[in-house]
């Protein structure tokens, strides 16, 4: 039960909190001070930018077929596959939590 809560927080809640904290803040335009409506231009509203989706590095599927790393070449191959998966995720517009 505690393990499930931990995994839920680490895999879903924490990445969502990171996305909220790193999203740009949208400020409200200042309110007009002139009481004559002819002198006040209509307020410009900017649509809010969508939040960047954040995924946990633990949830990335690294295309690597060997279950064990036994040689330095295995380590290099795994790191190359991991690097490519990380770059693909960033190119998809997602952030990665560590």
pLDDT in tens, the chain (98 residues): 888 887 778 777 877 777 777 766 556 666 666 666 566 566 666 665 666 788 888 889 999 999 899 999 999 999 999 999 999 999 999 988 88
In a 10 Å sphere around its CB, with 0-12 CB exposed, 13-18 middle and 19+ buried, how is residue 81 labelled? middle
In a domain? residue 13: yes
Alpha-carbon distance of 27 to 40, in angstroms, equals: 19
In a domain? residue 52: yes
Which residues span the domain enclosing 84?
A: 2-23+47-97
Alpha-carbon distance of 75 to 19, in angstroms, equals: 31
pTM for the structure as a whole:
0.57
In a domain? residue 55: yes
In a domain? residue 88: yes
Say how many domains are in the chain.
Answer: 1
Alpha-carbon distance of 77 to 70, in angstroms, equals: 11
In a domain? residue 18: yes
Alpha-carbon distance of 9 to 21, in angstroms, equals: 16
């Amino acid at each position: 039960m505690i393990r499930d809560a931990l995994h839920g927080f680490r895999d879903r809640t924490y990445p969502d909190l990171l996305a909220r904290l790193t999203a740009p803040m949208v400020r409200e335009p200042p309110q007009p001070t002139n009481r004559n409506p002819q002198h006040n231009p209509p307020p410009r509203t900017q649509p809010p930018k969508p939040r960047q989706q954040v995924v946990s590095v633990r949830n990335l599927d690294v295309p690597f077929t060997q279950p064990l790393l036994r040689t330095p070449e295995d380590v290099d191959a795994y790191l190359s596959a991991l690097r490519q998966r990380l770059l693909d995720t960033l190119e998809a517009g997602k952030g990665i939590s560590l």
